[in-house]
Amino acid sequence: MNTCKNCQRQFPVTDDDVKFYAKVGVSAPTLCPFCRQQRRLAFRNEINLFYRRCDKTGAQILSMYEPGSPYKIYDQTEWWKDDWDPLAYGRDFDFGKPFFEQYQELRLAVPRMSLNCIANENSYFTNYSWRCKDSYLVTTADLNEQCYYGRFSDRNYRCCDFDFTYDSRFCYETLDTHKSEACAFSQQVEGCSENYFCYNMRNCHNCIFCANQRNQSYCIFNKKVSQDEFKKIKESLKLYTASGVAAAKKQWNEFLQKEPRKYLNVLNCEDSLGDYLKNCKNANFCFDCYDLHDVKYASHLFNAKDSYDWDFVGDKCELCYEMVSCAGELFKCRFTMSSWNSNSEINYCDLCLGNEYLFGCVALRKQKYCILNKKYTKEEYEKLVPRIIEYMKRTGEWGEFLPMQYSSFAYNDSVAFEYSPMTKEEVFAKGLRWRDPDTKEYAKSSYAIPDDIKDAPDSIINETLSCAECGKNYKIVAQELKFYKAQYRKRW
């Protein structure tokens, strides 16, 4: 057993772990898996967005970096242009300074994109997204079209208020939903349509207040009814009104309390330990993952093998270690964040795309043999990198992910805060940043929201509303209102 140098808890390092560490060329970790994940997730901010100025154009932009951040932030459209060169920030390695200090100086100097977005269309208000179209406030989301307020969801069409939803259409308030259509207020449904207030359903259609059903249709409270009776009961619920939805939720919660729940959500897995796993073999301590083979300590990862310590998101990747927010055919990458698109043999890199043989680089694209953004010949690179690694072993840096103190975000803005919440005092005690909430007062809305969606005028999109629970202000956007009214006309 090893002792974590951060929390002092003991954690195992098995013979298989030792073999993996030897394969990727690192020594056994000094932190426990929990602390290692916390350290990685401190470098990811998905949902806390700010208005600030672009450091290139001066225009006001939306960014995951707060105003006053010490980093150089370019609007996402400006960052992708070819009129600036990341190699211009290259520098020599200094064997008189710690590597992390030099790497952080480079991270502060090289421009960063305001939001992590690739190839989106009319989806400016998204983050960690790829090829989304006409979508708004979706995060960790790829290939969605006309979707609003979603997270951890891919390949959906016209969905709203959804999480962990995939390959689905016209869904509203869904969680853990796959290949379904026109479902609402439901969780763990697959191959379903027109299900409302349902849980753990497979290939079911036109069901309300049901749980743990397979291949059923026209059921209410797990009992078969006629189509006419189903239609009559559905209409009586008045799901197109806020009061009707509130009453239905109350009935649903009371019913669901009595229904059995599966101990874990694991499907088609072999020799695996975790939850929400699908099609995995030898995946241990993994969560919200699928298509993994020989992977350990992972979350939100898919289609990866022979890798350890990885959060978000994978896809055709192999032999990687200590990664966060990286995807797309990665091979032999270590200690890397926010990098995509066929990188191989890169170490301690950030915002890098399509590179080979990098060490300590930021924002490089389609480059080879670079250290701290300075280009070398193959011979020079292969001679210098081993020297740097030996130097880092002496300083105690080699094999460690970048310390949380160098995160681009305040701790309470990062995903680490969601998984490992700490008080402001605890954050400061660890030498981390904390962002105090905006001190402005929220406006109390006097606008009376109609109970029936058909009574909501188009002008409601101009109103500033306030949340009934937290008091924060919000607005209904035009496409969101259109979605609600379309669902009412067609289904509710």
Give the pLDDT of the chain (492 residues) as one tens digit per residue.
Answer: 899 999 999 999 999 999 999 999 999 999 999 999 999 999 999 999 999 999 999 999 999 999 999 999 999 999 999 999 999 999 999 999 999 999 999 999 999 999 999 999 999 999 999 999 999 999 999 999 999 999 999 999 999 999 999 999 999 999 999 999 999 999 999 999 999 999 999 999 999 999 999 999 999 999 999 999 999 999 999 999 999 999 999 999 999 999 999 999 999 999 999 999 999 999 999 999 999 999 999 999 999 999 999 999 999 999 999 999 999 999 999 999 999 989 999 999 999 999 999 999 999 999 999 999 999 999 999 999 999 999 999 999 999 999 999 999 999 999 999 999 999 999 999 999 999 987 776 778 888 999 999 999 999 999 999 998 888 899 999 999 999 988 876 666
- Output the pLDDT for position 155: 97
- Answer whether residue 150 is part of any domain: yes
- Sign for the pseudo-dihedral over CA of 341, 66, 57, 90: negative
Domain tally, the chain: 2
- Output the pLDDT for position 490: 67
- Answer whether residue 40 is part of any domain: no
- Output the pLDDT for position 252: 96
Asked which of 217, 237, 256 is the last residue of a domain, the reply is 256
DSSP-assigned states of every residue in 140-159? EEES-BS-EEEEEEES-BS-
Asked which of 256, 272, 299 is the last residue of a domain, the reply is 256
3-state secondary structure of 478: helix
CA angle 106, 111, 116 (to 5 degrees): 115
Q: Which helix (H) or strand (E) element contains residue 310?
A: strand 281-318
HSE-CB of 95 using CA atoms within 13 angstroms: 10
128, 46 contact by CB (below 8 A)? yes
Reported as a single tens digit per residue, the pLDDT across 127-171 is 999 999 999 999 999 999 999 999 999 999 999 999 999 999 999
- Answer whether residue 186 is part of any domain: yes
- Answer whether residue 479 is part of any domain: yes
Q: Which two tokens stand for residue 185?
A: 């207020």
- Answer whether residue 23 is part of any domain: no
Q: What is the CA radius of gyration of the chain?
A: 25
- Output the pLDDT for position 247: 97
- Output the pLDDT for position 426: 97
CA distance 270 to 289: 14
CA distance 105 to 128: 24
Residue with tokens 């989301």: 141
Asked which of 207, 241, 256 is the last residue of a domain, the reply is 256
Task: Mention every residue, 6+ apart, whose C-beta is less than 8 A from residue 317.
Answer: 303, 304, 305, 307, 326, 327, 328, 329, 330, 331, 333
CA distance 238 to 452: 9
CA distance 132 to 484: 21
Peptide linkage before 313 cis (omega within 30 of 0): yes
CA distance 227 to 205: 11
DSSP, res 452: B
Structural domain containing residue 192: 130-256
- Answer whether residue 233 is part of any domain: yes
- Answer whether residue 24 is part of any domain: no
- Sign for the pseudo-dihedral over CA of 82, 88, 93, 98: negative
CA distance 183 to 398: 49
- Answer whether residue 364 is part of any domain: no
- Output the pLDDT for position 446: 81
477, 464 contact by CB (below 8 A)? no
- Output the pLDDT for position 489: 64
Q: Is the pTM of this model over 0.85?
A: yes
